[in-house]
Amino acid sequence: MRIDEVDSVNNVLRPLKPEVILNAAAFHNVPKCEQEVATAFAVNAEGALNVARVAEEIGATNVYYSTDYVFDGKKLNPYLENDLPNPLNVYSMSKLAGNI
């Protein structure tokens, strides 16, 4: 499946009729994301959107895994879901974009 192509996502998920989708897909090679920015955003942002759209269309619950990289690491306590992100690299920016 090509997560960056909505038709591909649709063709895989629609026949399966899942109740829940656990989207753990990611282009997570951090150094390579810096070199392949378009691929990072295609997979981590557009791909997440494609899964979310298809999930909504078929009535499935979509669970999206992001990353702690969306935070800058300066907080002295554990991060919480409602903390403001501050991504420092392409990988973290693309993962944050997939969560918006």
- Report the catalytic residues: 91
CA 80 from centre of chain: 18
Judge whether 94 and 41 are in contact, CB under 8 Å.
Answer: yes
Structure tokens at 16: 């399966």
Structure tokens at 100: 């918006």
